[in-house]
Structure 1
């Protein structure tokens, strides 16, 4: 991941702004309570975490990423935003991490995964791990590329070729996998495909 992002990280947010659809809607839908804890898996440059911390000033925010290069950029962005006291970052494999060791937290009230699963080979394990790390009553919020079923086939073909240049693979079975993992964990699950299937959004709520 460091080899992919060593140079991309400097233009990542500007270059992704117009096609990572649904990120701000995901943040708006978190609706945490005061003093809830919020974790972003695959936090990248810190763009989403900064937005979350500003929107929900009563919450403590955490981010993990496997890329040290991305985390270096995120640390700088967080400090420039004046949020170093409210956002903590750590390097970890999202498919198997210990929140107590990383952050001194047993679990999280909200977990966010935004356009990261399409870049993580063991993405199913990441979803399972995220559900396992939810506190009772917590929720997991996912947005990523969908199957583009409602879009013209030519547009879909061009998009897939473009995404492949950045090592991105839309997970067409994401809705089915998330539903199955939620059911296995005794959690509820809601899935929708906005923008004519360009994206997929899922919310898993732990009882």
Structure 2
């Protein structure tokens, strides 16, 4: 692991060492669009699904129940989050269907992490706003897609149709947790889609509170 990645791991472990125990309860009210993303995954029967930055595995658990014929995998840079994730997966009786690993989103390799040469569905739910190598994570995911594969993303938008005061106050609170909504996300997605010959669907949600995107091979 690089020095930068090790520093990010230490930061995330520090931030979430305590907060991970009630993370899902507190995020339920404002990480909007996660379940919409999961409903739209539609992996093929027996297909592989990878979540980048899986955190507590909340999304993987919901997705595994929604799509029982798929195989699920998730990785996170935080050892503390993965400890909670493994307990949650076991509690829901899904240890045989959800494989977890520690990895860096900017350099991940699905083959070395999970033995997957290519991946049918990759998703990122409020991950890009939390990781420094967010553009590299998109690139790595695009390169890892199988034929007919899809990369699904939901994250904070720029609140483009919400009052400016709401944006300033919420962005300030997000900054306290080292979360940075990515203003350049649409442009980066267009560039990656063009470079890899992918189709792009981009949808602002909830008056720009969240942005949803799908890159399809």
Q: TM over 0.5, yes or no? A: yes
1:49 aligns with 2:43: no
Q: Distance in 1 between matches of 2:126 and 2:106?
A: 15
The equivalent residue for 2:103 is: 92
Instruction: Give the CA deviation at 1:98.
Output: 2.0
Q: Which runs of 5+ in 1 are unaligned?
A: none
Q: Which runs of 5+ in 2 are unaligned?
A: 1-11
Q: CA RMSD in A?
A: 0.7
Q: Distance in 2 between matches of 1:31 and 1:100?
A: 22
The equivalent residue for 1:204 is: 215
For residue 38 of structure 1, give the secondary structure of its aligned residue in structure 2: strand
The total of aligned residue pairs comes to: 206
For residue 129 of structure 2, give the secondary structure of its aligned residue in structure 1: helix
Alignment counterpart, residue 162 of structure 1, candidates 173, 179, 204: 173
Deviations 1:17-75 (A, max 9, x none): 00000000000011112111100000000000000100000000000100010000000
1:125 aligns with 2:136: yes
The equivalent residue for 1:21 is: 32
For residue 21 of structure 2, give the secondary structure of its aligned residue in structure 1: coil
Alignment counterpart, residue 60 of structure 1, candidates 52, 57, 71: 71
Instruction: Give the CA deviation at 1:150.
Output: 0.3
Alignment counterpart, residue 193 of structure 2, candidates 170, 178, 182: 182
1:2 aligns with 2:13: yes
For residue 153 of structure 2, give the secondary structure of its aligned residue in structure 1: strand
The equivalent residue for 2:6 is: none
Instruction: Give the CA deviation at 1:5.
Output: 1.1
Q: Distance in 2 between matches of 1:185 and 1:74?
A: 32
